[in-house]
């Protein structure tokens, strides 16, 4: 899955055990709507460093997996979800409003109406 948003919170890396670490961050999506969404994502293991070069307020595009698990608690079965991010990249707008991550090739032939 993929989404784009503005970084709102960057948490510290948490060492859960000798073999597992995680880092959470919050991304604001739909920021220009009346109801922006503040969504928590998680980075794990060596991916915790992916957000190291980003700051609060940066616009990024992420790819993530939706993870779910079941836990049999004393009060009954409970379910938990995690949005596990595995890729981040900057979203920079150029002067024409296009994402810099998108490449367009323009053909200068006036008889050709195709943009590539």
Q: What pLDDT is attached to residue 92?
A: 77
Instruction: Give the pLDDT confidence score for residue 111 in this predicted structure.
Output: 54
**Residue-level pLDDT, tens digit, the chain, 116 residues:** 999 999 999 999 999 999 999 999 999 999 889 999 999 999 999 999 999 999 999 999 999 999 999 999 999 999 999 999 999 999 975 444 444 443 333 344 455 554 44
Half-sphere exposure at residue 10, Cβ-oriented, CA atoms within 13 angstroms: 14
Domain locations along the chain:
2-90
Distance CA 25, CA 85 (A): 10
Cα–Cα distance measured from residue 61 to residue 112, given in angstroms and rounded to the nearest whole number: 33
Assign a CATH topology to domain 2-90.
OB fold (Dihydrolipoamide Acetyltransferase, E2P) (2.40.50)
pLDDT at res. 9:
97
Exposure string of 77-88, with b = 16+ CB inside 10 Å and e = fewer, is eeeeebbebeeb
């Amino acid at each position: 899955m993929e989404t784009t948003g503005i970084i709102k919170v960057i948490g510290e890396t948490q060492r859960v055990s000798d073999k597992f670490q995680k880092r959470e961050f919050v991304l604001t999506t739909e920021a220009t709507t009346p109801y922006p969404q503040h969504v928590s994502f998680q980075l794990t293991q060596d991916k915790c460093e992916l957000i190291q070069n980003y700051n609060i307020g940066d616009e990024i595009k992420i790819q993530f997996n939706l993870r779910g698990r079941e836990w049999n608690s004393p009060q009954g079965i409970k379910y938990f979800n995690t949005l596990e991010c595995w890729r981040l990249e900057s979203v920079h707008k150029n002067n024409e409003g296009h994402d810099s991550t998108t490449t367009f090739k323009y053909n200068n032939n006036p008889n050709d109406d195709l943009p590539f």
